[in-house]
Chain A
């Protein structure tokens, strides 16, 4: 009898432990990173296990087969996706390294005659930080402001000594798509190099470096369902863009980025790019449909929700909503079984509201209450519905607790209140 008692007790304990394991949050943060597509993993595995040669070894079959895989990735996959020549693609360790290489490399190469760089206020941290370093080296940098819908005006700021303009294609926090074609035309006509950080855009919207007159482009592997730790930089050859390399060594990758190219990661990036090219239309249609569903559902049920960024010139999968009278961090904690973020992953450690939202002129309190919903290839309708319902429920609950909401309901204009200072 004691045995039986023990067996049932153990079953209960096991069941409770198992339930704890299975309940992981829904993933709705596709701008931070993306899960690897199973097809990409399938392409990479042989190069992790069997075909492990160094692609730069010229004397034996291990090297030859690795090199052939790397070159296939470069040519048929990455280059094909953006309409480039394979000799123009350099594999790097990610978009951050590509951005650093592009900005510091170009500025330093042409520094004898040209000492001015233009960028925007909504760029990724790595671009802004690289520009800051350039400023400390004596360059002058213009940070262009953006309009409230996120789009910008460029022509007036270009000077005769401008060497580079850097504008990201799709913003990672608000999803706004910049008019890259127009900016490319302006830069080409003024003889200025044009760099774009296309980490969030590549594989999601059709891009062509010749049509859009792009001279340098950063690509990130883990934003397009590829492996983490790899990216690429597109460097135009006609007309030639010269770079001072950041990483020196054996002269691999045209001398611009020395170091052994990680074959499995390069193969993974290539596979991710070719899958993205195949699936672009299907994914875009689906992501737009899901994003509309999410936004319609939320906005029809609760008032005072603002979508940050231009409503049309955007990538639909990145939805940034501000919920008035609700604090962003508390809403994130309330939505604990959905993986979301407010602002971007690289700024999530600090308590300040996102600089991107500040740049588009969002009010301080609205900037604090913004949440970014990321929708991607693997998101299902059920996940979107669940997120919307939970969000509505929690926003209502948090607003019930908010004294500001109470005041607004009574008709008091919050901006007219004089908060006393103790």
Chain B
């Protein structure tokens, strides 16, 4: 089996960095970027095609891990909170607007919004 060319190695490296950039957690993102960079740098001098192939396989496996974990560790809790907040706020807006229309008291509806949001 032909061993991976330099272009393929560089392409894998770029893809891994691009995927690592998508981690929403600061610590995971910085670790992935740093580790990928250091691993490719450390193995840069390897000549033996069998070893190169093995390392590339490992790299592709790790790329899979990164892609899956980026999806799984997206900050779902915070996203939910924001959505819930948006709902409450839009509800307040509607109420406030209706209130404003009937009473023409803009200040009162503004303070209503602030307390509920």
Chain B residues with CB under 8 Å of A3's CB are: 97
Question: Which residues in A have some Cβ–Cβ distance to B below 8 Å?
Answer: 2-3, 5-6, 9-10, 13-14, 17-18, 21-22, 27, 35, 38-39, 41-42, 45, 282, 377-380
Task: Map CB proximity to A onto B80-117 as digits: 1 under 8 Å, 0 otherwise.
Answer: 01100110011001001100100000100010011001
- Assess whether B30 is interfacial by the CB under 8 Å rule: yes
* Nearest Cβ on chain A to B61's Cβ, whole angstroms: 10
Please determine whether A377 and B96 come into contact, CB atoms closer than 8 angstroms: no
Please determine whether A2 and B78 come into contact, CB atoms closer than 8 angstroms: no
Complex: how many Å from CA A409 to CA B110?
55
15 residue pairs from A and B, CB less than 8 Å apart = A9-B110, A10-B89, A13-B89, A13-B117, A17-B85, A17-B117, A38-B28, A38-B65, A38-B73, A41-B69, A41-B72, A378-B30, A378-B31, A380-B30, A380-B34
Chain A residues with CB under 8 Å of B31's CB are: 377-378
Please determine whether A6 and B96 come into contact, CB atoms closer than 8 angstroms: yes
- Assess whether B66 is interfacial by the CB under 8 Å rule: yes
* Nearest Cβ on chain A to B65's Cβ, whole angstroms: 5
Please determine whether A42 and B68 come into contact, CB atoms closer than 8 angstroms: yes
Chain B residues with CB under 8 Å of A9's CB are: 110, 113
Q: Is the interface of B mostly helix, strand, loop or mixed?
A: helix
Given A13-B89, A17-B82, residue A39 in contact with residue B65 (CB < 8 A): yes
Complex: how many Å from CA A10 to CA B89?
7
Q: Which of A6, A10, A377 has the most CB of B within 10 A?
A: A6
* Nearest Cβ on chain B to A24's Cβ, whole angstroms: 9
Given A2-B106, A9-B110, A282-B38, residue A38 in contact with residue B69 (CB < 8 A): yes
Interface size class of B (residues with CB under 8 A): 20 to 34
Question: Which residues in B have some Cβ–Cβ distance to A below 8 Å?
Answer: 23, 27-28, 30-32, 34-35, 38, 62, 65-66, 68-69, 72-73, 78, 81-82, 85-86, 89-90, 93, 96-97, 100, 106, 110, 113-114, 117
* Nearest Cβ on chain B to A386's Cβ, whole angstroms: 12
Chain B residues with CB under 8 Å of A10's CB are: 89-90, 93, 113, 117
Residue on B with the closest CB to A382?
B30
Which 9 pairs between the two chains have the least Cβ-Cβ distance?
A38-B69, A378-B27, A42-B65, A378-B31, A21-B78, A13-B117, A380-B30, A10-B89, A6-B93
Chain A residues with CB under 8 Å of B72's CB are: 41, 45
Please determine whether B114 and A13 come into contact, CB atoms closer than 8 angstroms: yes
Residue on A with the closest CB to B32?
A38
